[in-house]
Amino acid sequence: MTFTRYAIYFAPPQGAEWSRFGASWLGWDMETGEALPHPEVNGLDVAAITATPRKYGLHATMKPPMRLAKGCSLADLEAACATLAATQAPVTLDGLQLARLGRFLALRALGDESALNALAAACVRDLDAFRAPAPEAELARRRANGLSPEQDQNLVTWGYPYVLDQFRFHITLSGKLPKPELPSVEAALQAHLIPLLPTPFVIKDLALMGEDTEGRFHLIHRYALTG
């Protein structure tokens, strides 16, 4: 399969109940590269609710999607991911909670996130040699959303505004919802997803992802954190 961009994700463990429900909720299984039927939940239009995040799959971004730099190959990136993972220890947090990010719904980590943030920063810094510079049109599109000076500097330096000190771990569960719809979607997720979430929440590996020509992300390989 041909991939246009690559990213490093936290990908929920394959086979876990919450992973299966979350993949079905979004309608895309990154592990198998297959569309999934949405669950029937409280009469909600789950397909519409999840249209925006569907192609990315159930994940948290650690190194944002990037085109490969000139002279770099996927094999080179794979080797670098293996090297990075061998230097990083698993991260344990207290759990996950449902949160509003503006008018989006997502899972956020509970507990001390310092080790998690350090892991994400290592992904951003250590793999940046593989990132081709972002096209001017992409920079302009991101700036149109309004960025702080620090976010704009991140965009210039790392190709994405919300990294390093601006990073906030989150697993997106919806697109931007009308305010009146938020409570009903929250209630559905509280009832069906939250009871399945792990306690504690442990990140044991990093997932190298590839974006296909239709914009959907696929798991290429998981790298165990063994540092």
Instruction: Note the pLDDT of residue 42.
Output: 85
State the residue range of the domain holding 118.
5-224
Instruction: Note the pLDDT of residue 69.
Output: 97
| pTM assigned to the model | 0.95
Say if CB 68 and CB 61 are below 8 A apart. Answer: no
Across 194-223, average pLDDT: 98
Say if CB 210 and CB 6 are below 8 A apart. Answer: yes
How far is it, in rounded angstroms, from Cα 48 to Cα 85? Answer: 36
Say if CB 188 and CB 41 are below 8 A apart. Answer: yes
**What residues contact 84, with CB distance under 8 A and at least 6 apart?**
122, 123, 126, 127, 206, 223
Say if CB 127 and CB 63 are below 8 A apart. Answer: yes
The DSSP code for 8 is E
State pLDDT tens for residues 79-110. Answer: 999 999 999 999 999 999 999 999 999 999 99
Instruction: Note the pLDDT of residue 209.
Output: 98
Mean pLDDT of the chain: 97
- Work out the pLDDT band at 1, boundaries 50, 70, 90: confident
Q: Which two tokens stand for residue 143?
A: 């700036």
Exposed, middle or buried: residue 209 (CB in 10 Å: 0-12, 13-18, 19+)? buried
Which amino acid, residue 176?
Answer: K
Instruction: Note the pLDDT of residue 134.
Output: 87
State pLDDT tens for residues 65-84. Answer: 999 999 999 999 999 999 99
Say if CB 111 and CB 95 are below 8 A apart. Answer: yes
The DSSP code for 169 is -
State pLDDT tens for residues 110-157. Answer: 999 999 999 999 999 999 999 999 888 888 999 988 999 999 999 999
Phi, psi dihedrals of residue 142, rounded to the nearest 5°: -70, -35
CATH number (domain holding residue 68): 3.90.1140.10
State pLDDT tens for residues 171-191. Answer: 999 999 999 999 999 999 999
Instruction: Note the pLDDT of residue 145.
Output: 83
Q: Which two tokens stand for residue 145?
A: 């959303």
**What strands lie across the sheet with 95-101, from one edge to the other?**
95-101, 104-110, 171-172
Q: How many domains does the chain have?
A: 1
Least confident span in 23-27, 39-43, 184-188: 39-43
